[in-house]
Amino acid sequence: MKDRLRATVSAARTVHRASNQPPTRRIHPRKDQSGFTLIELLIVIVILGVLSGIVVFAVGGIQDRGNAAACKTDKKTVQVAVEAFYAKNGTYPPAGDAGWLALTVGVDQLLRDRPVGTGYTITLGVNGLVTATGACT
């Protein structure tokens, strides 16, 4: 019985050695195969996600500063137009929409149109008071 078992094992070893096929499970890939592992790709995707998040927040801050600068510039432009109106007519323009109409229409037009921006509003008050709400504050 032992001899028959030894013969079977020996024959199996001989058959396996005679076979020229490589083993089905490899520990290391062949040298001619190239590519990235799943872990490497996931790490790159995470890094790109972090960098894009940083860029989105940085750009948002730039846009807010741009709106604030535009608001301040428009407010100063309206203040200059109101002072020019006073110098020419001896009185300040009326408050509200009538004042905007006096500054933007007619032969003595001092502004092309009423300044409208994203995130702010400029209003005309009594005695030439120009106020801005929103991005300017």
Do 110 and 85 meet the contact criterion of CB atoms below 8 Å apart?
yes
Do 119 and 69 meet the contact criterion of CB atoms below 8 Å apart?
no
pLDDT tens over the chain, length 137 residues: 656 656 555 555 555 554 566 656 656 656 667 788 999 999 999 999 999 999 888 887 788 888 899 999 999 999 999 999 999 999 999 999 999 999 999 887 899 999 988 889 999 999 999 999 988 87
The amino acid occupying position 4 is R
The ranges assigned to domains in the chain are: 49-137
Do 127 and 63 meet the contact criterion of CB atoms below 8 Å apart?
no
